[in-house]
Amino acid sequence: MGKKIAAILTDLFEDSEYTEPVKAFRDKGHDVINVGLEAGKTVKGKKEGTEVQIDKAVSDVSVQDFDALLIPGGFSPDQLRVDENAVEFTADFVKSDKPVFAICHAGQLLVTAQVLKGRRFTGYKSIEQDIKNAGAEFVDQQVVVDRNLVSSRNPGDIPAFIEESLKML
Amino acid sequence: MGKKIAAILTDLFEDSEYTEPVKAFRDKGHDVINVGLEAGKTVKGKKEGTEVQIDKAVSDVSVQDFDALLIPGGFSPDQLRVDENAVEFTADFVKSDKPVFAICHAGQLLVTAQVLKGRRFTGYKSIEQDIKNAGAEFVDQQVVVDRNLVSSRNPGDIPAFIEESLKML
List the CATH number of the domain containing B94.
3.40.50.880
Residue B144 near residue B165, CB atoms below 8 Å: no
Of the pLDDT bands very low, low, confident and very high (cuts 50, 70, 90), residue A38 is very high
A26 touches chain B (CB under 8 A): no
Give the pLDDT of residue B159.
Answer: 98
Give the pLDDT of residue B150.
Answer: 98
Give the pLDDT of residue A1.
Answer: 80
Nearest CA-CA partner of A100 in A140, A69, A126: A69
Provide the shortest C-alpha distance from residue B138 to chain A (in Å): 14
| φ/ψ of residue A147, rounded to 5 | 50, -110
pLDDT tens digit string along A83-138?
999 999 999 999 999 999 999 999 999 999 999 999 999 999 999 999 999 999 99
A81: left (phi over 0), alpha (psi -120 to 50) or beta: alpha
ipTM associated with this complex = 0.96
Between B1-5, B17-21, B76-80, the lowest mean confidence (pLDDT) is in: B1-5
Q: Looking at the 3D structure of chain B, how many domains does it have?
A: 1
Of the pLDDT bands very low, low, confident and very high (cuts 50, 70, 90), residue B1 is confident
| Catalytic residue list of B | 104-105
DSSP-derived secondary structure letter, A45: B
Question: Would the CA dihedral through B128, A136, A140, A28 be positive or negative?
Answer: negative
State the Cα–Cα distance between residues A150 and A111, nearest whole angstrom: 15
DSSP-derived secondary structure letter, B2: P
Question: For B111-126, what is the mean pLDDT?
Answer: 98
Over pLDDT 90: what percentage of chain B?
99
Residue A72 near residue A18, CB atoms below 8 Å: yes
Question: Cβ contact (<8 Å) for B111 and A134?
Answer: no
Give the neighbor-by-neighbor strand order of the sheet with A100-103. A56-57, A31-36, A4-8, A68-71, A100-103, A149-152, A144-146
Could you list the residue range(s) of the whole structural domain that residue A115 is in? 4-167
Residue A19 near residue A158, CB atoms below 8 Å: no
pLDDT tens digit string along A41-91?
999 999 999 999 999 999 999 999 999 999 999 999 999 999 999 999 999
A75, A126, A130 member nearest B82 (Cβ): A126
Helix ranges (DSSP H) in B97-144: 107-112, 128-133
A111, A125, A126 member nearest B129 (Cβ): A111
Give the pLDDT of residue B169.
Answer: 96
DSSP per-residue string spanning B7-72: EE--TTB-HHHHHHHHHHHHHTT-EEEEEESSTT-EEEBSSS--EEE--EEGGG--GGG-SEEEE-
Give the pLDDT of residue B74.
Answer: 98
B112 touches chain A (CB under 8 A): yes
B53 touches chain A (CB under 8 A): no
B108 touches chain A (CB under 8 A): yes
Question: For A152-169, what is the mean pLDDT?
Answer: 98
Of the pLDDT bands very low, low, confident and very high (cuts 50, 70, 90), residue B11 is very high
Question: Cβ contact (<8 Å) for A125 and B82?
Answer: yes
DSSP per-residue string spanning B79-107: HHTTSHHHHHHHHHHHHHT--EEEEGGGH
C-beta neighbour count of B128 within 10 angstroms: 18
State the Cα–Cα distance between residues B27 and B146, nearest whole angstrom: 25
Of the pLDDT bands very low, low, confident and very high (cuts 50, 70, 90), residue A152 is very high
Give the pLDDT of residue B33.
Answer: 98
Helix A158-167 crosses helix A15-27 at what angle (to 10 degrees)? Answer: 40
State the Cα–Cα distance between residues B109 and B106, nearest whole angstrom: 6
State the Cα–Cα distance between residues B162 and B5, nearest whole angstrom: 13
A47 touches chain B (CB under 8 A): no
Chain B residues in contact with A108 (beta carbon < 8 A): 126, 130
Residue B104 near residue B134, CB atoms below 8 Å: no
pLDDT greater than 90 at residue B18: yes
